[in-house]
Amino acid sequence: MSRHLLCVLCLGLVLAGLVAAGSALATGNTGSFTRAENGVVDYRHILVHRSAKDCALPAVASVPDSQVLSAEWVSANGTDPAYCKVTGLIEPAVRWVAYLPAEWNGRLYMHGNGGNAGEALDFEGYHRMRLNAVRNGFAAAFTNTGHDAATEPGAQWAYNDPVREGDYGHRAVHVTAVAVRALLETFYQQPAGHAYFDGCSTGGRQGMMEAQRYPDDFDGILAGAPVFTLPDMLWQYQKNSLAVEKTPIRAEQLARLGEFIREHFDRVDGLADGVIGDPLAVDFLPSRDLPRAPQDEAGFTDAELVTLDAIYAPVIAGGVEIYPRTVVGAELPGLVYRDWDRSQVNTVSAWVGRVVPNADGFMEQPVIVDSWFQYLAFDEDDPKRDWRAMDAARDRASMARMRGLMQAVDPHLAPFAARGGKLIIYHGWADFGVDPLTTIAYVDAVSTATPQSRDEFLRLYLVPGMFHCSGGSNVDSFDLMTPLIDWVEAGQAPGAVTANRIENEKITRTRPLCAYPAIARYNGSGDPDRADSFSCQ
């Protein structure tokens, strides 16, 4: 009976993990091309026309190093334009899909993956991203990175498989970009004039990897909330998971924590709006600052304060900081979308489902660290490895090979900059899954490592209150792709970009996103829900 119960729990955990992976898939920001009319470059101008007769398999089958598996003409339907859908395979298991529009603007758009990747090529959220690009005239491409998450969930697919680890790490996006460029040249009888990459989370890491390793693949790269310090980020997840396993954070205590932070730190940026606009100006240590039980009946116990101190602390291994401290902001409730559907929304803290159980009792961080520590973080895999028993100071050296495959921390972007490449990175200040301080540290490192002025090829936009890639307590809908294209093709460097908060399909707030290190400051008067009441300073 107890064994049966355990299995039911096991299954529940696996299913919860799949559900979480599904939602992580769709955490990509979907604002690209939404402000096309603001662009200097008219990328909706059509250069080449194709029809169903051009979409026969023999006609598109010749792609070097790639097997073309299918070609299917998809007729226009309502607002969806007609396109030729082509799928292919690059050995050993990198599957790709490309949508080639009947009316082509001469450009390639490729979007990235989420979480552990391995998504189905027809996954609805990504299909919609590609259609969005096709609607604007782009050919659109995507790869599963060389494994299938449906048959091998979590990181199991990487068990003793360095080839697929390398495909997921960096190779799959590159070889797909090369293959689809060749396909475009065959189909349209002319090469793509410009190519763009758009990804968040794992997709953000892929974008940075492309700029660092394969600088010729893309002219413009939009990289959101990049998970680029793998596998070191997992030590942060391990630290948090050990802490909450010992003393959990109860839901009512998380609410009190959020309330304390709002009450004490919301105004630090000059405006009480429920958004921590300048987290770097906040100094917070739970055991020093929070009210204590039992003196305060709504206070925190000593054990709870130990857990909270651990969550906010950096990871130090052998005297070296290998992952930064946690900034405040993610505790506050904000919008969380269900899968790719922004109309299905929940309002919770970003801690929920990560280090505090969600309604299904699921927490993502221990599940991720468990699977990755067994199959994808260490140079030697071990399905019996207990994530709790690992020690960063002792065991981090055993990640050297995997760091080489997974991390995208090389700040030397000179080749990318020299060929005219432009990189825009964005990151939510209230991203509890991937610390925005890692991204800031990278951008600062690029400034010193690359001879060209960083202003000429790299922008960072930090989004106050935004969770991982989207959602949160502030604005989260913005089009950085249109300014990126203007930068690449018209030499117009991006400045402040207006972002929206959208609720029930209505814009309820606009704010400027400022290029780092500037911060959007309230002017002291005017509607706080209007972007023109703020200045980048």
Binding site for Ca ion (CB under 5 A): 266, 269, 271, 273, 275, 277
Closer residue to Ca ion (CB): 232 or 273: 273
In the complex, least distance from residue 531 CB atom to Ca ion, rounded to whole angstroms: 15
CA distance 9 to 7: 5
CA distance 246 to 341: 36
First to last CA, the chain: 63
CA distance 248 to 301: 11
**Closest among 104, 150, 125 to 203, alpha carbons compared:** 125
CA distance 293 to 24: 36
Give 183-241 as a 3 state SS string.
Answer: HHHHHHCCCCCEEEEEEECHHHHHHHHHHHHCCCCCCEEEEECCCCCCCCHHHHHHHHH
Closer residue to Ca ion (CB): 212 or 473: 473
Closer residue to Ca ion (CB): 165 or 269: 269
CA distance 516 to 100: 36
In the complex, least distance from residue 276 CB atom to Ca ion, rounded to whole angstroms: 6
Closer residue to Ca ion (CB): 198 or 266: 266
CA angle at 469 for the pair 373 and 325, rounded to the nearest 5°: 55
The widest CA-to-CA distance across the chain, in whole angstroms, is 78
Closer residue to Ca ion (CB): 210 or 273: 273
CB 323 within 8 A of CB 229: yes
The neighbouring-strand residues paired with 515 are 461
In the complex, least distance from residue 410 CB atom to Ca ion, rounded to whole angstroms: 35
In the complex, least distance from residue 136 CB atom to Ca ion, rounded to whole angstroms: 35
In the complex, least distance from residue 282 CB atom to Ca ion, rounded to whole angstroms: 11
Closer residue to Ca ion (CB): 54 or 273: 273
Closer residue to Ca ion (CB): 332 or 424: 332
Closer residue to Ca ion (CB): 275 or 499: 275
CB 369 within 8 A of CB 237: yes
Peptide bond preceding 517 in cis form (omega within 30 of 0): yes
Closer residue to Ca ion (CB): 119 or 269: 269
User: What is the signed CA dihedral for 266, 306, 436, 514, rounded to 10 degrees?
Assistant: 10
In the complex, least distance from residue 271 CB atom to Ca ion, rounded to whole angstroms: 5
In the complex, least distance from residue 350 CB atom to Ca ion, rounded to whole angstroms: 17
In the complex, least distance from residue 464 CB atom to Ca ion, rounded to whole angstroms: 8
In the complex, least distance from residue 261 CB atom to Ca ion, rounded to whole angstroms: 11
3-class secondary-structure state, position 70: strand
Say which residue the tokens 């391995």 belong to. Answer: 118
